[in-house]
Amino acid sequence: MSVGLRLKEERKRIGLTQTELAERCGLTKRAQVNFEKENGEQLPGGAYLLAATALGIDVLYVLTGERNGISTEEAQVLSAYRVASPEIKLAVSAALGAAVKASGRHKFVMHANEVGQALSGDISQPGLTINLGGRKAQKKSS
């Protein structure tokens, strides 16, 4: 399927006519008709694609034929999560049933402007070995 046919499919999916989509993206109906032709002689430019994205067109699908794996709602949640504090991220993980245990409010570690956390409780990681130093020889008393 061509770019033009996928664009037409997406336009119909969001319930707009060629005239409506063209106007909302700042073009004429004639330009929209040319974009939607099966032979794909004319491809939409960046400004058009940005405006179409804001209207709900899956531009990744239009250009590549591959559907975007994340919905608008999921993208908004992910954006909010990325800028949230470590405490909020921990609360979100807990609310969603993620296997992250809160270790207490004061067990966050800051190093070079990066935030980490200290987990407490039973942690099972099969095959993990941590060596913190060898055995020290005991001193013999003389």
What pLDDT is attached to residue 138?
67
Token pair for residue 72? 């608008």
Q: Is residue 54 domain-resident?
A: yes
CB-based contacts of 44, cutoff 8 Å, min separation 6: 7, 25, 35, 52
Q: Do 105 and 76 lie in a common domain?
A: yes
Q: Do 43 and 79 lie in a common domain?
A: no
Q: Is residue 137 domain-resident?
A: no
In terms of phi and psi (left: phi > 0; alpha: psi -120 to 50; beta: otherwise), the region of 102 is beta
Count of structural domains within the chain = 2
In the chain, what percentage of residues exceed pLDDT 70?
70
Q: Which residue has the higher pLDDT, 130 or 44?
A: 44
Prediction pTM value: 0.49
Token pair for residue 129? 């070995």
Average pLDDT, the chain: 79
In Å, how far are 9, 23, 56, 126 from 30, measured between CA atoms? 17, 11, 21, 63
Q: Is residue 136 domain-resident?
A: no
Q: Do 90 and 56 lie in a common domain?
A: no
Name beta bridge partners: 114. Answer: 111
Q: Are 59 and 14 in contact (CB under 8 A)?
A: no
Q: Is residue 52 domain-resident?
A: yes
Domain residue limits at 92: 72-117
